[in-house]
Chains A and B, each alone.
Chain A
Amino acid sequence: MIGLPTSSPEVVSPARETRPNWLSRAVNAVRKRPSAAVGLFVIAAFVVLAVFAPWISPYSTSSPTGPIYAAPSASHWLGTNSLGIDELSLLIVGSRISLLVGSCAAVVAGLIGGTVGLVSGYFGGAVDVVLMRTTDFFIVIPPIPLMIVIAAVWGPSLGHIILVIGLLLWATTARVIRAQTKSVRQRGFVKRAETLGERSARTIVRHVLPQVAPLLLANVILTVALSIFYETALDFLGIGDPTAVSWGTIIQNAFLETATSNGAWWAIVPAGLAIALVIISCYLVGQALEDALNPRLSGGYLLVRPWKLRPLTGREAEDL
């Protein structure tokens, strides 16, 4: 009997049974929380809008199609801006850059944070200490001044903005992934792989990563919200790509061209609402996922990302 391949489920399945099915839990979590489902719908709607923007937008975004600061009307639903460019078209086309920068920066942050978290949590010891001290450094540093300084020296370009935001927002993700990796590492199937002499890199990719991936995804979605927030801030300060149309530059333009003293609320209100809608949606979806995947993390104080790893309730970050 020994050594013979067997199809009997009792022999094959124990290894699998110890692995909780994260995906179904995640799907359940979204299903159980109507707010998360709404968030998912809003994100999907904005993505469709961004993809088909050139075909949906009614007017050109580079040349004036109406009078300066025209109020909303039948021909210009959201009025026009200081150059007579249609605001609705700007809003639709602007969604492309905002969503692109937001998601790309979040992916960069997710890659760095995920790698640091996996390596740190898996190997422990000196590697862990060094990586976690680096992470602490990035948690403490205020992001906006650092982003401004780097972007100002680097010069304005879309790629630079994505990198700057991504390079500064990975720290919380690294912490969460590290904690999860540490707990996954204790499970039987990882121990088994180690005992069988599998290389560490292979163990991490084959056995640990699949368990951590959904949580990583949740964190990437949460980081999208933050990235969009920072992207609009950098655009507003004139550090973003000056030629690109984004929600951030719409607000910047309204500010520089004194839309407020012209009473042109239509040049300001829609862009801010769109940003807030996307941020809230990412937030609701990401938080629902994270709560479902890591029950020990759930708790409202985790709502506030920058502080989520602080010992707010007397527990150490390690206890997460």
Chain B
Amino acid sequence: MNRSAADYALRRGALALVTIFLVVSFNFVLFRLLPGSFVTNLSHIPNATPAFRRAIAAEFGLERSKWEQYIIYLQQLLHGNLGVSYANDRPVLSNLTTDIANTVPMVSLGTLAAIVLGTLTGVASAWRRRTVVDHGLTGTALAFYSFPTQWLGLMLILLLGSVLPTSGMHTPFLIGAPWWKSALDELHHMILPSLTVMLTLLGQYTLVVRSATLEAMSEDYVLTARAKGLRGSRVLWRHVVRNALLPVTTLVALSIGFIVGGAILVETVFSWPGIGLAVYQAVSERDYPMLQGAFLLLTISVVVCNYLADLLYFRLDPRVAR
């Protein structure tokens, strides 16, 4: 860690913090200051006695000034208090931690599969460029890039719904089974949602790996390797792919914003009880504390992942900090 690295990390970190602060403030403005937003409506219940109105306003801290409310909001956030869900009266944070724990394995499995398969198809397509293989793979990638996520999920249910579970995370009557049995059951339920995540990412990964590989293939060191008389496969894996994978390492972290959006759609289609389904249900039940909490958590995690990606990229290729 030399000076420029620390400098870079600090600068990027400050930027990430500012972004998070803006998101947090935006959340406050959106839900509490806009006319017609939820809290404003709640304080205007028809036929309410003035005493009742005052009680409601006091419960939500509405009698204070906007600035005071903002400060209290920030303080509560720092203590991890995201409010209480209207739907089940539990703290939003504890709801969200259960949801996140369900989302992460499903999404990770799909993303991992997309990375492996996307790398293979991307490299193959670049190595055999302008052949039938390339056109076929690129065309397929472009198609999967264009299909709506929710549509892909529904198509998988149509095609494989008779052989694989299509809804939820567990078989309802599997109670008291040994841990490995319920783990297998969960994995079984995970196949279709993870497959959907994989397919939505596959197109993008293939195209990115293909172009990174093409770029690496035009480098001088590849020419040198060829001139030395190395075998084609050796040139490909040792010289081309190793360098082409450099952008791919950060691609994963950078695509998390897309994955987050995709997770909402995929979990809705498959009723997977994760944070995406929580967002969907919060919208349909008008459970605003949950919606806010999920939005904050998702956005902040994306910002943090982007920051980590920046650092990772710097570690792999210090030229970016110039």
Contact = CB atoms under 8 A, between A and B. Distances in A.
Per DSSP, chain B at the interface is helix
Given A140-B302, A140-B306, A299 B215 contact: yes
Nearest to A303: B207
B106 interface: no
A13 B306 CA distance: 49
A276 interface: yes
Interface stretch (A83-91, A103-111, A147-155, A197-205): A147-155
Interface size class of B (residues with CB under 8 A): 35 or more
Interface size class of A (residues with CB under 8 A): 35 or more
Contacts of A143: 257, 261
B134 to A, nearest CB: 11
Nearest to A142: B257
Contact of A283 (B142, B155, B320): B142
Interface stretch (B81-89, B183-191, B231-239, B277-285): B277-285
B298 interface: yes
A150 B30 contact: yes
Nearest to A232: B148
Given A239-B283, A275-B146, A260 B158 contact: yes
Nearest to B318: A314
B30 A314 contact: no
Nearest to B251: A307
Interface string B184-225: 000000000000000000001001101110110000000000
B258 A142 contact: yes
A150 B30 CA distance: 7
Interface stretch (A2-10, A71-79, A116-124, A263-271): A263-271
A310 B204 CA distance: 14
A126 interface: no
Contact of B215 (A303, A313, A316): A313
B320 A311 contact: yes
B168 interface: no
A237 interface: yes
A307 B254 contact: yes
A312 B210 CA distance: 13
What are the 10 tightest A-B residue pairs by CB atom distance, in nearest-first order?
A300-B211, A144-B261, A272-B151, A142-B257, A279-B146, A301-B211, A312-B247, A276-B146, A303-B207, A260-B157
Interface of A: 133, 136-137, 140-146, 148-150, 152-153, 155, 225, 229, 232-233, 236-239, 248, 251, 254-255, 259-261, 263, 265, 268-269, 271-272, 275-277, 279-280, 283, 299-304, 306-307, 310-314, 316
Given A142-B257, A148-B291, 4 more contacts: A232-B150, A255-B154, A304-B204, A314-B319
